[in-house]
Chains A and B, each alone.
Chain A
Amino acid sequence: SQTIHQWPATLVQPVGSPLSLECTVEGTSNPNLYWYRQAAGRGLQLLFYSVGIGQISSEVPQNLSASRPQDRQFILSSKKLLLSDSGFYLCAWRRGGLETQYFGPGTRLLVL
């Protein structure tokens, strides 16, 4: 069966510090991968998606970037965090050609 991991689970970072969040998927190959952010009191916003290694599409202009160095690894990064980057970050995967996305446990980021 397939599983999706995210780490860290919780992160507290000062403004201006760098960020690296990791997402990995097990039990499948060539998944489509997604990063979402859930800000307090708001719904989920798609940040990035990837259909293959090195292929990243950005949905909204922002302080964040994403990379996919390996088939089942998706990384969310920032060079300098802003207060507004605080939120709950969710990674999701789906098998190409199928419609359902499956979500990881999430990373809660607090920028102080």
Chain B
Amino acid sequence: AQSVTQLGSHVSVSEGALVLLRCNYSSSVPPYLFWYVQYPNQGLQLLLKYTSAATLVKGINGFEAEFKKSETSFHLTKPSAHMSDAAEYFCAVSDGGATNKLIFGTGTLLAVQP
């Protein structure tokens, strides 16, 4: 069975500071990994995904994530936070099989202080 753990339900950073959102996964098969962002009262928007190609994945809005198999991690980073980055971020894993069910973490709410 697959699972995702997001450490830190709330993260607060200052504008211009590094953003680091942690995600660890468990999977018995090579995983597909995703980061989604959700702004208040909106659906989920795909930030980036790992699908067994390059281990460092670049996404939209300056975010990137690195797949580390040895650490079973897929942490999301951004060098410099912007006020518009304030949102909830979800890490998800799938096995890429026929049904491709996504298993989500519980989310991390990012606050950006001026």
From DSSP, what is the main secondary structure of chain B's interface residues?
loop
Within 8 A of A (CB), among B15-62: 32, 34, 36, 41-46, 49, 51
A108 and B94 contacting across the interface, CB-CB below 8 Å: no
Q: Is A104 an interface residue (CB 8 A)?
A: yes
* B contact residues around A92 at 8 Å (CB): 44, 102
* B contact residues around A46 at 8 Å (CB): 101-103
* B contact residues around A42 at 8 Å (CB): 106
- Please judge, given known A-B contacts A43-B90, A90-B44, A108-B41, whether A99 and B100 are in contact too, CB under 8 Å: yes
The distance from the CB of A109 to the nearest CB of chain B, in whole angstroms, is 13
B51 and A99 contacting across the interface, CB-CB below 8 Å: yes
Please tell me the size bucket of the interface on A: 20 to 34
Q: How far is the CA of A99 from the CA of B98 in the complex (A)?
A: 10
Q: Is B70 an interface residue (CB 8 A)?
A: no
B100 and A105 contacting across the interface, CB-CB below 8 Å: no
Q: B45, B49, B102, B107: which has the most chain A beta carbons within 10 Å?
A: B102
B99 and A32 contacting across the interface, CB-CB below 8 Å: yes
| Further contacts, 4 of them, CB under 8 A, given A32-B99, A100-B34, A105-B43 | A49-B101, A51-B99, A92-B44, A106-B41
5 A-B pairs with the lowest CB-CB distances in the bound complex, closest first: A103-B43, A43-B106, A103-B44, A44-B104, A43-B104
Q: Which residues of A contact B (CB under 8 A)?
A: 6, 32, 34, 42-46, 49, 51, 57, 59, 90, 92, 94, 99-106, 108
Q: Which residues of B contact A (CB under 8 A)?
A: 32, 34, 36, 41-46, 49, 51, 90, 94, 96, 98-107
